[in-house]
């Protein structure tokens, strides 16, 4: 069964460093997302991406964050200068419209630890 793939599974970085989290969405999906989950808290929406541009973003997704789909398969989240509070599990998801609302499939996540 096709799945969303995320790399790396764990990333440790120093505060102020740039990180890039990578995702390969399911190939025929049209919508791509990043969500994050701080330990013990709810899953929070960051950004959605469609037709090679951001379609929606949350207040969390400030100027330190950017997304890119550099080729036909990869979808990346870049954090320009990491802060301690960016430590979280980051989930990539992709979806395809199914009768009015799309089903979203998540990757297994990247655990980001900022020291």
Partner 1 sequence: AQKITQTQPGMFVQEKEAVTLDCTYDTSDPSYGLFWYKQPSSGEMIFLIYQGSYDQQNATEGRYSLNFQKARKSANLVISASQLGDSAMYFCAMREVSGSARQLTFGSGTQLTVLP
Beta bridge partners of 19: 79
DSSP assignments along 40-65, one per residue = TS-EEEEEEEETTEEEEE-TT--TTE
Interaction with partner 1 in 74-103: which residues (CB under 8 A)? 89, 91, 93, 98-103
Stretch of 19-27, 49-57, 66-74, 76-84 contacting partner 1, by CB under 8 A: 49-57
Interface residue with partner 1 among 24, 60, 96, 104 (CB under 8 A) is 104
How far lies 50's CA from each of 7, 90, 93, in Å? 21, 19, 12
**Chain residues that interact with partner 1, rule: CB under 8 A:** 31, 33, 35, 42-45, 48, 50, 55-56, 58, 89, 91, 93, 98-109, 111
């Amino acid at each position: 069964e096709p799945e969303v793939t995320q790399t790396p599974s764990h990333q440790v970085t120093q505060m102020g460093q740039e990180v890039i989290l990578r995702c390969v969405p399911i190939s025929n999906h049209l919508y791509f997302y990043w969500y994050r989950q701080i330990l013990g808290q709810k899953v929070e929406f960051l950004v959605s991406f469609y037709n090679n541009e951001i379609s929606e973003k949350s207040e969390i997704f400030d100027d330190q964050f950017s997304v890119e789909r550099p080729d036909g398969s990869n979808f990346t989240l870049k954090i320009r200068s990491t802060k301690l509070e960016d430590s979280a599990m980051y989930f990539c998801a992709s979806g395809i419209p199914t009768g009015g609302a799309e089903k979203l499939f998540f990757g297994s996540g990247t655990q980001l630890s900022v020291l």
